[in-house]
Structure 1
């Protein structure tokens, strides 16, 4: 129930920000580390400090797929319909995330 309310609150905040003169701040709100806080707490309580540090390091590298998503969307948004641009940007994120996990597994195996 709490997660659903939190998600709804974020949507309301995003919608409100999108209507202000500082609409671009709506791009920052989804990056608040809500799930990272939860993940780091769980890993930190159940695993070693080294495992937590590995999780944090992987999180730092996970910025790359998000950047790929944003770059793809930036390039496509004025060339295609919004829905198609978002879909292709999401596919680009999935590809970049797959590459990241594959490389991570080979380097840290």
Structure 2
């Protein structure tokens, strides 16, 4: 994290079931100018780093937002998302992953 993020008071917003859901929520928040951070949830089963390697994008992710933007973020994530929006975000996510692979 950079120094600016170190200064922020973070507040727990929600837990995404997986990386895909995290990316949808993060994208929605960023569209509205809200930064967020996500951390793989410790399931208490085994070392969370090892769990992430084994399960990859299936690990639940706790999402936190700046405390002063919490209410706004909560309203954003509680707004219904249309099927078309979900499909667009899934396609965009696939394009970004392909571009990252091409650049490697």
**Greater share of helix residues, 1 or 2?**
1
More strand by share: 2
Tell me if both proteins adopt one fold, taking TM over 0.5 as the criterion: no
User: Which of structures 1 and 2 has the larger relative contact order (alpha carbons within 8 angstroms, sep 6+)?
Assistant: 2
Looking at CA atoms only, which structure, 1 or 2, has the larger radius of gyration?
A: 1
